[in-house]
Structure 1
Amino acid sequence: MSPDNPSPTPPPDEFPSDGPRGLMARFRNYFLTGLIVTGPVAITLYLTWWFVTWVDGLVRPFVPSAYRPETYLPFGVPGSGLVVAVIALTLLGFLTANLIGRTLVDLGERLLGRIPAVRAIYRGLKQVFETLFSGNGSSFRRVGLVEFPSPGMWSIVLISQSPSANIAASLPGQEEHISVFLPCSPNPTTGFFFYVPKSKIIEVEMSTEDAATLIMSAGVVQPGAGDAKSMAALAGVANAARIANSASTLQPKPAPAKVE
């Protein structure tokens, strides 16, 4: 090559990538790929193991040693307490379904109802369990959007039931209110409970499982993200509701009559 026409220097991206920077990039990509693959599996197995161990620790003291697998085996059997708990709860439900079991349950409820400190706790927990685990109830099976914590900001809520008569009478205005629960991210077991007018709730075509996934991932995992039309329609409904709410609050009030 003549000195008058030297060879052009290749741009930085044309250099071979087998240097230290290329090796570190490959190492990072492989590490992140392995983390993505094993992370959910490891956390799922850990939570499952923790739950099984927790149930075993609660149930095993009530099981006689003659019926424990570790009595006859040189090692313990994880999950034996969980199996006993499932069988015992199923048997208890079967016995409660007949007349004798129902009578015993009513007797126990009357005894608990006479203890002032325990009565309120028991009644509240019983109503919560009947609402959540009953197949006929509709609480927390619908998902909605409310404008919270400020105008223009929308939060996902789980729709519950209408307030009782005495609470509804104390709420301002004539519009019907609905109780909702707003889970916090990333722990959906904590959040805010409040009453909101029914017209302020935008019901969303989303299951509670998808809503929990969206909240726990802080928006990283978008259920149904492949359906762009439904997401666009949801955004349009939320924007229309915001415009309608702002228009109702910004309507000019009639000027007072001039007194001469």
Structure 2
Amino acid sequence: MKKTNYLGLFFRSLLQGLVIIGPLGATFGIIWYLISSIDSLIPSISERFPGLVFFSVILSTAAIGFLGTKFFLGRFLVDAMDNLLEHTPGIKYIYTSLKDVMSSFVGDKKKFSNPVWVKTNQNPEIWRIGFVTQSDLTPVGLQGKIAVYLPHSYAISGWVIFTDAENLLPVEKMNAVEAMKFAVSGGVSGFHPEEGKHNS
């Protein structure tokens, strides 16, 4: 009769528990940190009504987004403020940089919506996953080149390369969100081999 290794079973169960609890704990921890940080902006209110400042900020942001895109007066005010900040010396560099970065991820002008496989080395042949950000670099003197953003794994950073179209292949059977998850997770998330087999 096989003897049960209780110590080994305990540590395996402990690791499995960490896998289950870790992401949940980290997610709720980040959410709680954001709520607490925003609440602390007005301590006098947050002490009496925890969470009120946070939800007020969220609702106000959503309201500004709605009014700034759906109503003429709202769009006029947003465009006026945008134009002012884009032409203010010093501030314009900070504002336009942050605006471009945020617009790349969210909004109607998302840049990371075209995932591709990029050949980064010929011998040995190495491919990486990336996102086309500029398909025509002629205005900056790089005719025939394409700008591709390559995200880093387990980080929010990345780098940009300029390459020829012949070094790119479209990513199939993964949308942009799945491709980003695949890249950021180091290739362990976002790709489902079983679905690829069924669809092939």
Normalized against structure 2, the TM-score is what? 0.79
Partner of 1:70: 47
Partner of 2:6: 23
Q: Any idea what the Cα deviations from partners look like across 1:14-72, whole Å, max 9, x if unmatched? A: x6414xxx2222222222222222222212211222222233335x36xxx5xx3633x
Partner of 1:86: 58
Match of 2:82 among 94, 100, 109: 109
Task: Decide whether aligned partners of structure 1 residues 130 and 29 sit closer, same or farther in structure 2, where only a CA change above 3 A counts.
Answer: closer
Letter in 1 for 2:134: Q
Partner of 2:168: 201
Identity, % of aligned pairs? 26
Partner of 2:128: 155
Q: In structure 2, what is the Cα distance between the partners aligned to 1:158 and 1:106?
A: 29
Residue 228 of structure 1: how far off its partner (Å):
5.4
Partner of 1:244: none
Residue 146 (structure 2) pairs with residue 146 (structure 1): no
Residue 28 (structure 2) pairs with residue 45 (structure 1): yes
Letter in 1 for 2:129: I
Residue 193 of structure 1: how far off its partner (Å):
0.7
* Runs of 5+ consecutive residues of structure 1 not aligned to the other structure: 1-14, 234-260
Residue 139 (structure 2) pairs with residue 171 (structure 1): no
Question: Residue 40 of structure 2: SS of its match in structure 1?
Answer: helix
Residue 201 of structure 1: how far off its partner (Å):
0.7
Question: Residue 116 of structure 1: SS of its match in structure 2?
Answer: coil
Residue 192 of structure 1: how far off its partner (Å):
1.1
Question: Residue 196 of structure 1: SS of its match in structure 2?
Answer: strand
Normalized against structure 1, the TM-score is what? 0.63
RMSD: 2.9
Q: Any idea what the Cα deviations from partners look like across 1:168-205, whole Å, max 9, x if unmatched? A: xx226xxx332211011111x11111222122111112
Runs of 4+ residues over 6 Å off in structure 1? none
Q: Any idea what the Cα deviations from partners look like across 1:45-103, whole Å, max 9, x if unmatched? A: 11222222233335x36xxx5xx3633xxxx52x3223111221233234434344344
Question: Residue 226 of structure 1: SS of its match in structure 2?
Answer: helix
Q: In structure 1, what is the Cα distance between the partners aligned to 2:195 and 2:118?
A: 22
Q: Which has the higher strand share?
A: 2
Partner of 1:225: 193
Query: How many matched pairs?
Result: 197
Q: In structure 2, what is the Cα distance between the partners aligned to 1:84 and 1:192?
A: 36
